[in-house]
């Protein structure tokens, strides 16, 4: 059962991300955090893992180390350890995109099951969003990402290979199926638009 700690984390996450929206949309960012948390709970996550899911982007997007210390004080060492494990950068400007994504992928090989659970849930929800948005806007989707289409596809292929090696669970299997569906849809799209340059997460 979830306790008052979870309620506190939900309010804390909502306040941190209140002005943030999902890339290329007006969807409140909290929708992503709630979706990742639901996936964690549906895959046998405990309360600490669920709280970490709510806060998995907080350090990276909303305050760096000051936010990390606030999470530690409020929710404890296990939660902050999971959040740290899901954070690929905590300083501005962020390191180059490919460098930090490669480092994140490599770190997953020695990550705890709790980190892998929250990380895979995060990537599954992102993959679902990519699939849904591609169905709506097609190749225009890649204009949202500085790294372009090939960078995004490389990242998810690399993540999936890593999860399947170190975290072979139903969650990973669903992520694999979702991404394969996206690849199939891309292959069936006759028009290719050159990727433009916008911000990427």
Q: 50-109 pLDDT, tens per residue? A: 999 999 999 998 989 999 999 999 999 999 999 999 999 888 888 999 999 999 999 999
Predicted local distance difference test score (pLDDT) of residue 92: 81
Active site residue 61: yes
Identify the active-site residue in 47, 61, 90, 181.
Answer: 61
Structure pTM? 0.92
Percent of the chain past pLDDT 90, that is, above it, reads 87
Q: Is 7 noted as a catalytic residue in this protein? A: no
Q: What is the mean pLDDT of residues 133-148?
A: 94
Q: Give the model confidence (pLDDT) of 151-187 as tens digits.
A: 999 999 999 999 999 999 999 999 999 999 999 999 9
What is the pLDDT at residue 82? 98
**What tokens appear for 23 in the block?**
């890339």
Residue of 48, 49, 57, 60 marked catalytic: 60
Residue 200 has pLDDT above 70, yes or no: no
Q: What value does the mean pLDDT take over residues 134-155?
A: 95
């Amino acid at each position: 059962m979830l306790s008052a700690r979870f309620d506190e984390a939900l309010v804390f996450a909502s306040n941190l991300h209140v002005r943030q929206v999902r890339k290329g949309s007006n969807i409140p960012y909290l929708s992503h955090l709630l979706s990742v948390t639901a996936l964690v709970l549906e895959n046998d996550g405990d309360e600490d893992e669920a709280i970490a899911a709510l806060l998995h982007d907080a350090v990276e997007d909303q305050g760096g180390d000051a936010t990390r210390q606030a999470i530690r004080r409020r929710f404890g060492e296990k939660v902050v350890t999971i959040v740290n494990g899901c954070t690929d950068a905590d300083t501005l400007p962020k390191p180059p995109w490919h460098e930090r994504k490669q480092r994140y992928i490599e770190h997953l090989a020695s990550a705890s099951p709790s980190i892998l659970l929250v990380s895979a849930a995060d990537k599954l929800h992102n993959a679902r969003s990519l699939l849904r948005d591609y169905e709506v806007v097609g190749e225009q989707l890649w204009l949202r990402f500085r790294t372009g289409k090939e960078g995004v596809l490389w990242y998810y292929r690399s993540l999936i290979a890593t999860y399947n090696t170190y975290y072979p669970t139903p969650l990973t299997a669903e992520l694999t199926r979702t991404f394969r569906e996206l690849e199939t849809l891309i292959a069936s799209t006759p028009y290719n638009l050159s990727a433009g340059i916008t911000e990427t997460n």
